[in-house]
Structure 1
Amino acid sequence: MGLPKEDPFTDFDIFGVEFIRSSAALVAVSSSVDQIQRFSVIVVNRNMYGILIVGCSQIGIMNKKNGKASWDIRAIKVFIDLFIEEVEKGGRRGTSLTKPAWTSIEENFTTKTRRVYMRIQLKNKFDTLRKEWQLWDRLLREIGLGWDAERNTVSAPDDWWEKKTEVPGYEKFRERGLQFRAELTQLFGYVATAGPQS
């Protein structure tokens, strides 16, 4: 028995998928994939084969092995834009967001991406973005570097890069610059200049 082609579960073998009902969504865990997918249920039919999803929409993806949220470029952009919006509304206190600001980001992120991530997952992504920006900012402060406009990153001879192997992370910017660098500088540049506030 197969599922309709338009159904989000098409990639799963219905007999190899474990369906778990929760208050927030339906969770599908497949032994053949490395992801847990969350779906909001529109229609559910029970029959001799178990549960058949007639209609549903994907609202979240999480890595099965380590429980980390999966991020694509669109989701990252939405997250950054929401963060900037909360900062502009006065939702940042020092280097951190207020609880109401985090709640707003959680709700709006789910609405815009149809992904349900826990606050800790969003905070982990925020910390990762901040560390990447700090590394990028450090790279830009290196003396004697040029700029590669085509790749949007710094330009330096091969021997310079080889000498910088002691700096973990620099290598990732050798072929391509920091994604969303303008937005991340808007978020973290002021904090780096002003420093933590009480």
Structure 2
Amino acid sequence: MAPKGENIIEWSDEMDLAFLNVMLEKQRRTHTTTWKTSAWKEITAKMMNLFPDKQLFLHKVKDKYQRMKTNFTRFFEIVKHTGVGWDADTNTVTADSDVWDMFIKKNRAYKTFRSKGCKYYDLQKQLFSSSVATGALRISSTDPPPTLEEERRLNEEFLSRGKGKQKQHIDLEEDSDESDDPAHVAQPILTESRRRVPKRSQSKSSQMQECMDIFRESFTKNQQDTTSSAKKSKSVSSPEKPEKNSIEEALNELAKLESRIPKSLFVKAGKTLLDPGSQRLFMWFKEESRMEWILQLDHP
């Protein structure tokens, strides 16, 4: 086993910037950051060409990616938290002491952001934002500002997440993101505790009976709905037609012309149709002839 500290690479800002650009280029071509070993070999080869004096290997490059993602995840949680300010030009974070205490209480690694922020934040955001979920403290820009009670609840949820079931990890110490020492590799704090509520055990017979009851209830309801719908449809869209050659049939035809004749003449025509002969004559006429017949009622 190699002595501790042997072959450990100190990643410079220049290397970080080159590494981000190589990965962003790969992301643009593959539309993902979940790369297979072959893709990581390509990334490693490019980094070795750029920095031939560094002892870069596949596992060191992947470890650096994980540390960088972990660091970004934590920084992203801080800058999105209510009451936290961040100056992109100076790469500094401003927040009240109680906010810093809350984050540091969860993990000491957050302490490093008080002094140096997160370099190349915009590039890291392009690379990691699609896969990083900030959990309880994530607030949409369209949401209204939280009340004091809501903010207190969010803080409690944030702190409780660290106590839930998640992968065991080693805390990142201050400035640890500059080294590829495996002892500093940590998993991002992304997962929340998820409780599974046990389902009550049921015998096959009781399950079958429950299914039959649901089916019977659904079938009965559907039958009732279908019958009611059919009756309603019949009454609305298919009214019963009046008996042929009846006064009702003639009055229905007269009603179609109501908007085209004076009200007094309409009433007079209705009375005239009570005579069987006039009724038969009216029904025999076409529409325009019926209009002429009605108009002549005013000038016998």
**TM-score, normalization: structure 2?**
0.39
Letter of the structure 1 residue corresponding to residue 51 of structure 2: T
Distance 1:86 1:147 in 2: 29
- Note closer, same or farther for the CA distance 1:150–1:88 as it changes in structure 2 (3 Å cut): closer
Show structure 1 runs of 5+ residues with no match.
1-62, 194-198
1:155 aligns with 2:94: yes
1:144 aligns with 2:83: yes
Q: Give the match's secondary structure for 2:71.
A: helix
Q: Cα distance, 1:76 vs. partner?
A: 1.4
Which residue number in structure 2 is paired with residue 132 of structure 1? 71
Instruction: Give the counterpart of 1:69 among 9, 16, 20.
Output: 9
* Larger RCO: 1 or 2 (CA < 8 Å, sep 6+): 2
**Are the equivalent residues in 1 in contact too, given 2:44–2:58 (CA < 8 A)?**
yes
Which residue number in structure 1 is paired with residue 48 of structure 2? 110
Letter of the structure 2 residue corresponding to residue 112 of structure 1: L
Q: Cα distance, 1:134 vs. partner?
A: 0.5
Distance 2:81 2:131 in 1: 20
- Note closer, same or farther for the CA distance 1:160–1:191 as it changes in structure 2 (3 Å cut): closer
Q: What percent of counterpart residues are identical? A: 22
Q: Give the match's secondary structure for 1:96.
A: coil
Superposed counterparts of 1:80-99, under 5 Å: 80-90=20-30, 92=32, 95-99=33-37
Deviations 1:1-36 (A, max 9, x none): xxxxxxxxxxxxxxxxxxxxxxxxxxxxxxxxxxxx
- The list of structure 1 runs, each at least 4 consecutive aligned residues, that deviate by more than 6 angstroms after superposition, is none
Higher strand share: 1
Deviations 1:139-189 (A, max 9, x none): 122112233456323212334323443032221111221011111111110
**Are the equivalent residues in 1 in contact too, given 2:7–2:55 (CA < 8 A)?**
no
Distance 1:188 1:70 in 2: 22
Distance 1:192 1:149 in 2: 20
Distance 1:192 1:167 in 2: 18
Instruction: Give the counterpart of 2:104 among 165, 168, 174.
Output: 165
- Note closer, same or farther for the CA distance 1:138–1:108 as it changes in structure 2 (3 Å cut): same
Letter of the structure 2 residue corresponding to residue 154 of structure 1: V
**Are the equivalent residues in 2 in contact too, given 1:91–1:97 (CA < 8 A)?**
no
1:121 aligns with 2:50: no
- Note closer, same or farther for the CA distance 1:91–1:107 as it changes in structure 2 (3 Å cut): farther
Q: Cα distance, 1:64 vs. partner?
A: 6.2
Instruction: Give the counterpart of 1:186 among 126, 130, 137.
Output: 126
Deviations 1:100-155 (A, max 9, x none): 32121111111111134110000100000000011011112211223345632321
Letter of the structure 1 residue corresponding to residue 66 of structure 2: D
**Are the equivalent residues in 2 in contact too, given 1:91–1:98 (CA < 8 A)?**
no
**Are the equivalent residues in 1 in contact too, given 2:22–2:43 (CA < 8 A)?**
yes
Two-structure CA RMSD over aligned residues (Å): 2.5
**Are the equivalent residues in 2 in contact too, given 1:82–1:108 (CA < 8 A)?**
yes
Distance 2:46 2:82 in 1: 41
Distance 2:50 2:88 in 1: 32
Distance 2:102 2:37 in 1: 43
Q: Give the match's secondary structure for 1:143.
A: coil
Distance 2:132 2:86 in 1: 23
Show structure 2 runs of 5+ residues with no match.
134-300
Q: Cα distance, 1:71 vs. partner?
A: 1.1
Letter of the structure 2 residue corresponding to residue 130 of structure 1: K
